[in-house]
Amino acid sequence: MNQILFFKNEKNRENFNKNKKVYIVIFLIFIIFTSILSFILFYKVYNNYNNEKLSQKLNNSYSISTLYSDTSNTTNIDTTSTNPFVIGIIQIDKINLNYSILSICNNELLDISVCRFAGPMPNEIGNLCIAGHNYVDYNFFSRINELDINDKIKIYDLSGNYIEYSIYDIYETHSDDTSCTFQDTNNKKIVTLITCNNVNGKRLIIHAKEIP
């Protein structure tokens, strides 16, 4: 009887040791996974913070008072140039949005500020399409989903003037749908804001027209 109990206890001890090793391995994997996830999250937040600081530095460097202090050469700007430069500023008071608009659009520049995706220079006839990332920390275009029909958008151009636009259409579409970049505006000035919906992967589109 004692021998049976001895073997039984030995077997339980072996099982316990095996389970203990398994639990230790699972715990270590959890710690490693949590550490990696925390690092990635910290890196994204830190990177977004730096990009926001850089964007605000652009605004400070090209503030409305200095960006337009010398407009003598604005008519000679090559709008097809591949060298990025600030072409204006977008302001939306309702959501406290204030960013420089960069002249061209690519992945690197979209990390810095909002960019002209298609269309003319600011406040010219046509459909100025402005693309911006939708960050989780409320930077760039992350809050434009809070806008409603008839809300106002201000666009400052290189002549030092601004035009106010009124939102007339808000919708979502697939990422490969480029119909929002239309340029047949019947000689009207249109502004289109484009960003992504991080939940369903679609694009949020907001159209606004010049207020007469």
Domains in the chain, CATH or no CATH each: 62-210 (2.40.260.10)
- Phi-psi category of 140—alpha, beta or left, where left has phi over 0 and alpha has psi -120 to 50? left
Q: Taking the complete model, does pTM exceed 0.85, yes or no? A: no
CB-based contact 180:195 (threshold 8 Å): no
Q: What average pLDDT score do residues 8-35 get?
A: 66
CA distance 27 to 17: 15
Report pLDDT digits (tens) over 127-178. 999 999 998 777 899 999 999 999 999 999 888 799 999 999 999 999 889 9
Instruction: Check pLDDT > 60 for residue 87.
Output: yes
Highest mean pLDDT among 30-44, 59-73, 127-141, 144-158: 144-158
**pLDDT band at residue 83 using 50, 70 and 90 as cut-offs:** low
